[in-house]
Amino acid sequence: MEETFVALDVGTTKTCTLIAEVKEEGGLRIIGVGIAPSRGLRKGVVVNIEEATEAIAASISKAEDISGYEIDRVYVGVSGGHISSVNSRGVAAISRGRRGVTLDDMDRAMDAAQAIAIPHNREIIHAIPRGYTVDGQDGVRNPLGLQGYRLEVEAHVVTGAVPPIHNLVKCVRAAGVEIIDLVLAPIAAGEAVLTTAEKEMGVVLADIGGGTTDIAIFIDGSVWHTMVLSVGGNHITNDIAIGLRAPFNVAEEIKIEHGHTLPEVIAPEESIDIAAFGNEPRRSISRRRLAQITEARAEEIFDLVFKEIKRSGYDGLLPAGLVLCGGTAELAGLREFSSRALDLPARVGTPQKLEGLVETLESPAYATSVGLLLWALRRTKDRETAPRTTSNFSRRLRGWLKALLPG
């Protein structure tokens, strides 16, 4: 039987489970897709255990029914405004000198990079190497086998607040499956929608979901900066609901069908009919007015993205520009708006080169879901030639689960 991976993306608006088989030539074939409306989440964080668990279980059940595969372990995406990151340096002596750097040396250097002071209510999720230095020679991508005495690593360390992570873990296990690893959503999304050339040159990924905007900056082939902003597409929908005096679900439909981020391209006389509250009759509203509402919130979102890029210090190192993904990336005019707001070339990223049940997944909304599968595949392939990229968090995950739900 082919090796199988399962991804679980628990977002603010949807919960998606994907099952993929590894093909003989090493790619992935999607054999199961389960999508359910999310419940019990707000801005990427669980706020109702029972509701979130039910949504996760429904998504898993749908994927199992389609594939005939019984899910027992999953890779899970994590997001939320509690996420933060820092770059850290670790040093280790090269144990075998003339015989060269070993994986154990690389792991010890990574462990040293994780020995940073963090509050007791936070936990390291990822520690990802950015680059190595061997005996003062920097710019080393993979030091395995190089001779020397001193190994240094620059690592990107991602941390999250313990309570939101515990709550997510609790929901997933309550739905009947175990967690192999937690993966930060924008890092996973980057696996699905960024090219190798973009990661090498320098690129910023903005994954705009319902409740959050997840940011990741990739330079020299590795992730250098990550951040999650607690604002997303649902905020645009809420603004439309208030501005047009319409129910939230109606506002969401209006945004998807008629929304635009560039009022200047909408004819002044263009109008749309919308449903109102209660027994009020349907009424006509200006589509340009709708675009103005959308534009105002988009300005806020990309002002925050701009400030985060500036704060990272890497704003001058992004010649490959901006790649948008997430469901909100499909909003008309957003690519052009974002390019203008950030003064960067921009494109919308969609998962590519998939096989199997892919019709639904060829959309920026499924970047994280597909990326989780690609993350799992790459980590499996790299197991013998690369250091750990997960932290003590993953090594302690089994103990956490026992503490959360004994038995």
Query: What share of the chain has pLDDT > 70, as a percent?
Result: 92
Q: Which two tokens stand for residue 144?
A: 């395995």
Q: Is residue 132 part of a domain?
A: yes
Q: Is residue 190 part of a domain?
A: no
pLDDT tens string 326-368: 999 999 999 999 999 999 999 999 998 789 988 889 999 999 9
- Residue 387 — pLDDT band, cuts 50, 70, 90? low
Q: Is residue 91 part of a domain?
A: yes
- Residue 406 — pLDDT band, cuts 50, 70, 90? very low
Total domains, the chain: 1
Structural domain range at position 93 = 84-159
Q: Is residue 101 part of a domain?
A: yes
Mean pLDDT of 269-295: 87
Predicted pLDDT of residue 402? 53
Predicted pLDDT of residue 226? 97
Predicted pLDDT of residue 224? 96
Q: Is residue 93 part of a domain?
A: yes
Predicted pLDDT of residue 382? 72
pLDDT tens string 218-268: 999 999 999 999 999 999 999 999 999 889 999 999 999 999 999 999 999
Please state the pTM of the whole predicted model.
0.92
- Whichever domain contains 91, its CATH number is 3.30.1490.110
Q: Is residue 131 part of a domain?
A: yes
- Checking DSSP bridges between strand 322-325 and strand 346-348, what pairing results, if any? parallel
Predicted pLDDT of residue 394? 55
Q: Is residue 112 part of a domain?
A: yes
Predicted pLDDT of residue 275? 73
Q: Is residue 104 part of a domain?
A: yes
Mean pLDDT of 99-104: 91
